[in-house]
Amino acid sequence: MRFQHTKKLMLTACLISSFTQIGYATEADGPALFEKKGCLTCHHLPGTTNAPPMMGPSLNGLNKKHRILDGSMRNSEKNMRKWLKNPRAVKSTTLMPNLGLTDTEITTFIQYFKTLN
Ligand code: HEC
Protein backbone atom coordinates (compact mmCIF):
# COMPACT_ATOMS: atom_id res chain seq x y z
CA MET A 1 0.00 0.00 0.00
CA ARG A 2 2.65 2.43 1.08
CA PHE A 3 4.76 1.54 -1.91
CA GLN A 4 1.85 2.14 -4.26
CA HIS A 5 1.41 5.58 -2.81
CA THR A 6 5.06 6.44 -3.27
CA LYS A 7 4.90 5.20 -6.83
CA LYS A 8 1.94 7.44 -7.55
CA LEU A 9 3.74 10.41 -6.08
CA MET A 10 6.79 9.71 -8.17
CA LEU A 11 4.69 9.39 -11.28
CA THR A 12 3.05 12.71 -10.55
CA ALA A 13 6.44 14.34 -10.03
CA CYS A 14 7.63 12.96 -13.36
CA LEU A 15 4.54 14.21 -15.13
CA ILE A 16 4.94 17.66 -13.67
CA SER A 17 8.59 17.85 -14.63
CA SER A 18 7.88 16.63 -18.15
CA PHE A 19 5.25 19.32 -18.48
CA THR A 20 7.72 21.98 -17.47
CA GLN A 21 10.22 20.45 -19.90
CA ILE A 22 7.89 20.75 -22.84
CA GLY A 23 6.71 24.16 -21.69
CA TYR A 24 7.45 27.16 -23.91
CA ALA A 25 6.89 25.21 -27.07
CA THR A 26 4.79 27.56 -29.15
CA GLU A 27 5.41 31.05 -30.44
CA ALA A 28 2.82 32.36 -27.97
CA ASP A 29 5.26 31.46 -25.21
CA GLY A 30 7.92 33.69 -26.77
CA PRO A 31 7.44 36.78 -24.61
CA ALA A 32 7.42 34.79 -21.35
CA LEU A 33 10.50 32.86 -22.37
CA PHE A 34 12.17 36.10 -23.44
CA GLU A 35 11.65 37.44 -19.96
CA LYS A 36 12.59 34.23 -18.18
CA LYS A 37 15.90 33.90 -20.03
CA GLY A 38 16.91 37.48 -19.34
CA CYS A 39 16.83 38.62 -22.96
CA LEU A 40 14.95 41.74 -21.83
CA THR A 41 18.04 42.93 -20.00
CA CYS A 42 19.56 43.78 -23.36
CA HIS A 43 16.77 43.85 -25.95
CA HIS A 44 13.61 45.83 -26.47
CA LEU A 45 10.51 43.96 -27.54
CA PRO A 46 7.27 45.48 -28.80
CA GLY A 47 5.06 46.33 -25.86
CA THR A 48 7.79 46.24 -23.24
CA THR A 49 9.46 49.12 -21.51
CA ASN A 50 12.72 47.69 -20.26
CA ALA A 51 15.15 50.31 -19.05
CA PRO A 52 17.92 51.67 -21.24
CA PRO A 53 20.80 51.52 -21.91
CA MET A 54 20.21 48.65 -24.24
CA MET A 55 23.21 46.58 -25.04
CA GLY A 56 21.53 44.74 -27.87
CA PRO A 57 19.41 45.94 -30.78
CA SER A 58 15.64 46.21 -30.50
CA LEU A 59 13.96 43.14 -31.88
CA ASN A 60 11.06 45.19 -33.24
CA GLY A 61 10.54 44.30 -36.89
CA LEU A 62 13.04 41.45 -36.73
CA ASN A 63 11.01 39.35 -39.16
CA LYS A 64 11.31 42.03 -41.84
CA LYS A 65 15.07 42.23 -41.63
CA HIS A 66 16.98 40.51 -44.42
CA ARG A 67 20.21 40.57 -42.48
CA ILE A 68 21.05 40.53 -38.78
CA LEU A 69 24.15 41.32 -36.70
CA ASP A 70 24.75 44.66 -38.40
CA GLY A 71 24.26 43.14 -41.81
CA SER A 72 26.90 40.49 -41.36
CA MET A 73 24.56 37.50 -41.44
CA ARG A 74 21.51 36.58 -43.50
CA ASN A 75 18.34 36.39 -41.42
CA SER A 76 17.51 32.72 -41.99
CA GLU A 77 16.17 30.13 -39.64
CA LYS A 78 19.41 28.17 -39.80
CA ASN A 79 21.54 31.20 -38.97
CA MET A 80 19.24 32.28 -36.17
CA ARG A 81 19.45 28.82 -34.67
CA LYS A 82 23.26 29.00 -34.76
CA TRP A 83 23.25 32.46 -33.24
CA LEU A 84 20.91 31.62 -30.37
CA LYS A 85 22.70 28.36 -29.64
CA ASN A 86 26.06 30.01 -29.20
CA PRO A 87 26.43 33.69 -30.12
CA ARG A 88 30.18 33.80 -29.56
CA ALA A 89 30.77 30.99 -31.99
CA VAL A 90 29.20 33.24 -34.63
CA LYS A 91 30.77 36.52 -33.53
CA SER A 92 33.55 36.20 -30.98
CA THR A 93 33.38 39.81 -29.80
CA THR A 94 29.64 39.97 -29.14
CA LEU A 95 28.27 40.98 -25.76
CA MET A 96 25.48 38.48 -26.10
CA PRO A 97 26.16 35.51 -23.83
CA ASN A 98 25.39 31.88 -24.44
CA LEU A 99 22.16 31.51 -22.52
CA GLY A 100 22.12 27.73 -22.61
CA LEU A 101 18.91 27.55 -24.62
CA THR A 102 17.51 24.14 -25.45
CA ASP A 103 16.56 23.30 -29.03
CA THR A 104 12.89 23.57 -28.08
CA GLU A 105 13.43 27.01 -26.61
CA ILE A 106 15.29 28.10 -29.72
CA THR A 107 12.41 26.85 -31.88
CA THR A 108 10.01 28.85 -29.72
CA PHE A 109 12.06 32.00 -30.25
CA ILE A 110 12.32 31.40 -33.99
CA GLN A 111 8.54 30.94 -34.28
CA TYR A 112 7.98 33.97 -32.13
CA PHE A 113 10.42 36.14 -34.12
CA LYS A 114 8.34 35.40 -37.23
CA THR A 115 5.55 37.41 -35.61
CA LEU A 116 7.73 40.51 -35.06
CA ASN A 117 6.85 42.63 -38.08
C1 HEC B 1 24.08 40.80 -22.28
C2 HEC B 1 23.19 41.32 -23.28
C3 HEC B 1 22.35 40.38 -24.11
C4 HEC B 1 21.47 39.40 -23.69
C5 HEC B 1 21.17 38.96 -22.26
C6 HEC B 1 20.85 38.88 -24.89
N7 HEC B 1 21.34 39.50 -26.00
FE8 HEC B 1 20.74 39.19 -27.91
N9 HEC B 1 22.14 40.52 -28.57
C10 HEC B 1 22.97 41.27 -27.76
C11 HEC B 1 23.82 42.10 -28.59
C12 HEC B 1 24.88 43.08 -28.08
C13 HEC B 1 23.46 41.83 -29.93
C14 HEC B 1 24.04 42.47 -31.19
C15 HEC B 1 24.89 41.47 -31.86
C16 HEC B 1 26.28 41.94 -31.95
O17 HEC B 1 27.06 41.70 -31.02
O18 HEC B 1 26.61 42.55 -32.98
C19 HEC B 1 22.39 40.84 -29.88
C20 HEC B 1 21.74 40.33 -30.99
C21 HEC B 1 20.64 39.52 -30.96
C22 HEC B 1 19.86 39.13 -32.11
C23 HEC B 1 20.11 39.57 -33.54
C24 HEC B 1 19.36 40.86 -33.75
C25 HEC B 1 19.78 41.65 -34.97
O26 HEC B 1 18.92 42.37 -35.49
O27 HEC B 1 20.93 41.59 -35.39
C28 HEC B 1 18.86 38.34 -31.66
C29 HEC B 1 17.75 37.70 -32.51
C30 HEC B 1 19.01 38.21 -30.23
N31 HEC B 1 20.11 38.95 -29.84
C32 HEC B 1 18.17 37.48 -29.43
C33 HEC B 1 18.37 37.30 -28.05
C34 HEC B 1 17.59 36.40 -27.24
C35 HEC B 1 16.45 35.53 -27.72
C36 HEC B 1 18.08 36.51 -25.96
C37 HEC B 1 17.66 35.73 -24.72
C38 HEC B 1 17.70 34.28 -24.85
C39 HEC B 1 19.16 37.48 -25.99
N40 HEC B 1 19.31 37.93 -27.27
C41 HEC B 1 19.89 37.88 -24.88
C42 HEC B 1 22.99 41.28 -26.39
C43 HEC B 1 22.26 40.42 -25.57
- Give the DSSP letter string of 40-56: GGT---TT--PPSPPSS
User: Is the CB of 111 within 6 Å of ligand 1?
Assistant: no
Query: Which has more pLDDT, 45 or 60?
Result: 60
Architecture of domain 26-49+57-113 in this structure: Orthogonal Bundle (1.10)
pLDDT score recorded for residue 26: 78
Task: Give yes or no for residue 114 having a pLDDT over 90.
Answer: yes
96, 104, 112, 113: residue to mutate for ligand 1 pocket, most atoms within 8 A of CB: 96
Q: What is the pLDDT of the chain when averaged over all its residues? A: 81
pLDDT score recorded for residue 111: 95
User: Is the CB of 70 within 6 Å of ligand 1?
Assistant: yes
Contacts of 58-66 with CB under 8 Å at 24 or more apart are 59/113, 59/116, 60/116, 61/116, 61/117, 62/113, 62/116, 63/113, 63/114, 63/115, 63/116, 63/117, 64/117
What mean pLDDT is predicted for residues 60-79? 96
Q: What do you get for the CA distance between the two ends of the chain, in Å?
A: 58
What mean pLDDT is predicted for residues 40-56? 72
Q: Residue 47's pLDDT band (boundaries 50, 70, 90)?
A: low
